[in-house]
Amino acid sequence: MKINNDIIEQHGLKLDEYESIKKLLKRNPNLLELGIFSAMWNEHCSYKSSKIHLKKLPTIGEQVIQGPGENAGVIDIGDEDAIIFKIESHNHPSYIEPYQGAATGVGGILRDVFTMGARPIALLNSIHFGSPSHPKTKSLLNGVVSGIGGYGNCIGIPTVAGETKFNETYNENILVNAMAVGHAKKNKIFYSKAKGVNKAVVYVGSKTGRDGIHGASMASAEFDENSEEKKPTVQVGDPFTEKLLLEACLELMRDSSIIAIQDMGAAGLTSSSVEMASKGSLGIELELDKVPCREEKMTPYEMMLSESQERMLIILEDGKEEHAREIFKKWDLDFVVIGKTTSSQKLVLKYHNKIEAEIPLDALSSKAPLYNRKWSKKRLSKNKIEIKKLKKIKLEDALIKVLSSPNHSNKSWITDQYDQMVMCDTVNRSGSDAAIIRIHNKDKAIAVSVDSSANYCKSHPLTGGKQIVCENWRNLIAVGAKPLAITNCMNFGNPENQEIMGEFAECLIGIKEACEFLNYPVVSGNVSFYNGTNKKNIFPTPVIGGVGLINNLKKYQTHNFKMETSNIILIGKSFGHLEQSCFLKEVYSIIEGRPPEINLTNEKNNGECVLSLINKNLVLSAHDISSGGLITALSEMCIGSSIGIKVEKPKKLTNINEYFFGEDQGRYILEIEQKNLSEVEKIIKKNNIYYENVGITQKDYFEIKGEMKIDVNDLFKINNHWYNNY
Amino acid sequence: MKSSVIVFPGSNCDRDVAVALKKMQFNNQMVWHKETSLPKSDLIVIPGGFSYGDYLRSGAIAGKSLIIDEVIKAANSGCFVLGICNGFQILTETGLLRGTLLRNESLKFINKDINIKVINNKTKFSSKYKLNQVLKLNIAHNEGNYFTDKNHLDELKNENLIAFKYCDKNGNISVKSNPNGALENIAGIYNSKKNILGMMPHPERMVDSIISNTDGVNIFSSLMV
């Protein structure tokens, strides 16, 4: 077949990129080679628009064993234990085919984690849908939730935390981000870098089919009205096979048979073989006749570009072949030596004894295009919202609106569809600020949380970037964990648009500044561009997944009130920031103004003080204040426990809604037993932290003196009815 | 006491139940589904999970696996057999227990803490519970909606073979406290010799107060009496 401009375009390549390919090869590529270039050079695999920005992120620290660049990030949690984790997007396939898209998103991220030698111990997700009234939203929500559950429940790894948000910006392009967290022994971590010439390259797992061909290219383009036709590019997941693959890999990893291992994710056999060989500065030669195929007469092109799931590529030490084969046979999985490492620094593909492709590896990796795209800065909004001029609403009515809104409603309709308890190490399930997972057979645990704030990021990307890192950090602190490191999933629109590229660049600067200040490095992540349909881009939505350590399981904390007559204190200053707040959105449908300011010094001091109080066993419950402000956070603490609270209004109050619904940052609510109050106040003052006494817990009623009094059971009902009636 | 946990491809609560058995001082062994003989056991546990990916029908393929012949032999000669969740589904597929587990009425997977009531405490599995005691256990299944024919239901009632029924926290057995649509809120049953127990809730998830509670302990410790 002669390669013409149409074919080049169908492969998602620009004409000047095609010219570069010819220069690198010193000849015209054939179709197979073009397909391989397209798979490796697309945005999803090459990070060509994002790389120069990502390099600025802090990625090292004494807690970091492996930063970005491997299948997942690795951190040290003391003793001989390491935690391996990563978040990844599966937005485009999930919009086209929600069940399989979401399921394979979970499957893919799990493989990234167990490829490195970890047993996965927790799954999280961040899912974003369009407006609930959009005709597609309901079926997308249903499909995505059952897909996430379908995969995680079957493979037997608990889905412990997540966030589900609705915003019309996702009407035509939903977001499905999945995060996996695994545990490994520090001295038993496996990497993807090939070593040594003439080593066996082994294909294990499922057979290769015609599904998901060009999936990575699809994820590197905007949608249009014909997107439904892309269904064949969506992969089909089989969690049962993945369970077998997981157990077989972990069994083989017990000894020293493996030199390098890599899962076949985006761009399947192509990216796995290219990455392993490039990292080791070696060459790789594959005999495609040996690739186990699910369908008849598959061509080399299809084999190399298929994104069939549940497959791995392993480079074995000499003499370990039979031993490894036995293990995979036991688990009824394919195990075929399909090639070898070479010293040629080339990818060579043979089929029917003929060389079908021969590409220098650097052309696919280090010499892939790299763009420094134009980007523009976003200024802080100057629109002032005159809160006093808005139509008056009673505090109680506003609270009901917020608590019954889709974004703030109780999510048990979703979480009940996920097995949160399998593996029997889930200490704290969904609903709190962060989930807590015990390290098996030990008295320590990790805390995990995922967070995003698209409205803040849209309004001012720099502040928004900082804010999500801080909120994530706060969520871990609130359960008594020391935050260690994050993974990030950057969901953005079209990077060729200067404004969108600016959103990306500035969100990253915000993330970088907050991570540096808080010693909270980024150890893994993923970039998803081209989220949008017909030139309409989504709001910038970076998602942060954080992991923290609870060294002593006797000292973790939850957010529900524990007893009556305890003192409730508010850590951090309230300025009454209502712009971009959930209050304005839910009550007045106003999404305007600036996001709340981030003061990193206060953030750090407040957080460290809260953590020290929890560690001293002086706190009965703790909750961070985020979307919805103080009153929403207090309601959640009541709802979780059926205990009420009596709140005294502060004496100098300018506007009651500003005080109770303001979304000022760096704030926590702590429940303190009366007898400990003076000691707690002493510590807080010594640390120069601003705090207020808010009220006292009581039986049955959430009461704000002179303003409102609601039965906690009614609050529960208000918070619980939306999903069940949707 | 000696116990064996059968491991099928796709079992995923095998480790959880092994941890619980060890905690209760059982001398436990894991038995791979391709084995053709069982180690000497006082108790055989068929754990939860998705054996063979739930393909065909949950429990159907496991019910025809190599090791299951040995389980049937052992059960018929009086060995205690406990099937939890997918294990219960497998036991109904083998015929060791009668009835079947249909799709949940909501057509959704359900994972949550629920309450069950001890209907018979005069068996080897339940002697340490009080009659009508309300337990809080965890369920996690797609197909937990127990169904059987009228004759068998009468038999279950007349011979006191219903082990547990779903209820609310005060012990009321009602449609509202039935999470999956199971016939008469049945959460677990015995065979007529009462040496085989199948149940949808997971007792192994409730043996550790740091994680949950200890309401599941007595299922295992009753056997030690």
Average pLDDT over residues B170-177: 97
A243 touches chain B (CB under 8 A): yes
Catalytic residues of A: 44, 90
Q: What is the pLDDT of residues A305-334, one digit of tens each?
A: 998 999 999 999 999 999 999 999 999 999
Percent of chain B with pLDDT over 70: 100
pLDDT band at A619 (very low <50, low <70, confident <90, very high): very high
CA distance B35 to chain A (A): 12
Are A671 and A562 spatial neighbours (Cβ–Cβ below 8 Å)?
Answer: yes
- Judged by CB atoms closer than 8 Å, whether chains meet at B53 and A238 is answered as yes
Are A652 and A710 spatial neighbours (Cβ–Cβ below 8 Å)?
Answer: no
Q: What's the domain range around B137?
A: 2-224
A242 touches chain B (CB under 8 A): no
Following DSSP, what letter does each residue of A389-448 receive, concatenated?
GSPP--HHHHHHHHHTSTTTS--HHHHTTS--STTS-EEE-BTBSSEEEEPTTSS-EEEE
Distances (CA, A) of A469 to A27, A364, A521: 48, 33, 10
pLDDT band at A532 (very low <50, low <70, confident <90, very high): very high
Average pLDDT over residues B204-215: 96
CA distance A683 to chain B (A): 29
- Judged by CB atoms closer than 8 Å, whether chains meet at A425 and B211 is answered as yes
- Judged by CB atoms closer than 8 Å, whether chains meet at A155 and B15 is answered as no
B16 touches chain A (CB under 8 A): yes
Q: What is the pLDDT of residues B110-146, one digit of tens each?
A: 999 999 999 999 999 999 999 999 999 999 999 999 9
Predicted pLDDT of residue A231? 58
- Judged by CB atoms closer than 8 Å, whether chains meet at A420 and B10 is answered as no
pLDDT band at A657 (very low <50, low <70, confident <90, very high): very high
| pLDDT at residue A82 greater than cutoff 90 | yes
Nearest to A409 by CA among A615, A634, A715, A133: A715
Q: What is the pLDDT of residues A479-521, one digit of tens each?
A: 999 999 999 999 999 999 999 999 999 999 999 999 999 999 9
Q: What is the pLDDT of residues B185-203, one digit of tens each?
A: 999 999 999 999 999 999 9
Q: Please state the length of chain B.
A: 225
Looking at the partner chain, which of B19, B50, B138 has a beta carbon nearest the beta carbon of A154?
A: B50
Q: Please report residues of A whose CB lies closer than 8 A to that of B108.
A: 146, 416-417
Total structural domains within chain B: 1
- Judged by CB atoms closer than 8 Å, whether chains meet at A149 and B109 is answered as yes
Count how many Cα atoms sit within 13 Å of the Cα of residue A499 in the half-sphere of its side chain. Answer: 12
A142 touches chain B (CB under 8 A): no
Predicted pLDDT of residue A102? 97
- Judged by CB atoms closer than 8 Å, whether chains meet at A244 and B10 is answered as yes
Whole-structure pTM value: 0.96
Are A208 and A269 spatial neighbours (Cβ–Cβ below 8 Å)?
Answer: yes
Predicted pLDDT of residue A226? 66
CATH label of the domain that carries residue B217: 3.40.50.880
A416 touches chain B (CB under 8 A): yes
- Judged by CB atoms closer than 8 Å, whether chains meet at A243 and B211 is answered as no
Which of A121, A411, A421 is the best mutation test for B, with the most CBs of B within 10 A? A421
The answer for A 188-207 residues in CB contact with B (under 8 A) is none
B205 touches chain A (CB under 8 A): yes
A575 touches chain B (CB under 8 A): no
Q: Give the separation between CA B99 and CA B115, rounded to whole angstroms.
A: 22
Q: Please report residues of A whose CB lies closer than 8 A to that of B140.
A: 153, 419, 421-422
Q: What is the pLDDT of residues A427-457, one digit of tens each?
A: 998 678 999 999 999 999 999 999 999 999 9
